[in-house]
Structure 1
């Protein structure tokens, strides 16, 4: 992988995560290219990471792997600028299927679709990888190596990517909202805001580590905290009364449906 040149085309929020992860893993900076629409953004990337920031056409000509991280509505224009490349294309464009790229690139061009998430900033992302029609096992392995510095990876069939978007792509926002709500509740119960923040954040971190490392079903871990006729049971009863499970189902379904709308537009 270190001998391949990777171009991050459209180094916005998600593209920059890939760029930073590559360099953090020890990939040579001289084998990393970036593109940016605005000159000031290009200068920022070059100064921060020490990589060459070039045009989309030059990136396509020089790179072995093209990681495309532009907004879905800009992807068609970018592919026009890339031209008739047959390089491995890795799409970070939420909602866009590999067929979108296949229809605009030469026949046989390998395309891989990836949905990652923002915990990539701290090396704890989960990236779901789906090969297109012309992507081989070797191409998938390259994509896994590309995203390994960001966190964990998982392979899924492409038809599941809209569900992945709803669950993990948007998922961090759900947890942040829950943490925000718990902190506000703690303040209303009389805790200083900083104390409430520390209590809730560390509880979230510890619970996540237990979920990851124990291998236990979340229901079993929840039951271990819930004593008969205790405080936790009272709280969980209130949450169920307010339809927390139905709310999450409705929320994730709405996110999945929006991903499908993006693909169809």
Structure 2
């Protein structure tokens, strides 16, 4: 979700890759958050907000009114008490490449082409010139390169050699930046993966320690047998017996 504010109106941009049955609810939350933030900043007047929803999923999307969410046709006397707002809807997947190119709006063209073909990485790999068309501003190049390469990184079915070949086929003004950007994304991904692995290991160890405490409590305080404890904590009986034996040996050594 992105918000672009102006003096007269503000725009909320939301994009979906999967069909959303009740988009008004999410858009309304965004609108309320934006208005609340404006009031929090001591702005006495609220701007109208125009929601814009861009969809690039494979399934069809049937746009409907908010009052249809209630499962039956409501009487006219109820309608004034419901939120009444619309949103601008763009189904990118249904647009042809020619229609997108006719938009003539810089980075919007590249973004829509990328979203339309995002489920077909081979198309992107073999149509770099189309995907990167009309990117003349350096900052636009950099932003879009990050977007494309981040997608490639998350798409596990693409081999690194293919991605490197894609980068090499880019115009010379882009491939050097793209290669350094991709290397940076890979390095950051490794760091995130390592931190996530460490976090999971710590959580597993903490859970294991908690289970061990329960086993010893059941044995020492509740006087349960190892067989009974194994059933209670869903552990192998050998595990329970080994833990109890080690704990008793440690107690003897301490005494």
Flag the structure with higher strand content.
1
TM interval, short-chain normalised: under 0.3
Highest relative contact order (Cα 8 Å, sep 6+), 1 or 2?
A: 1
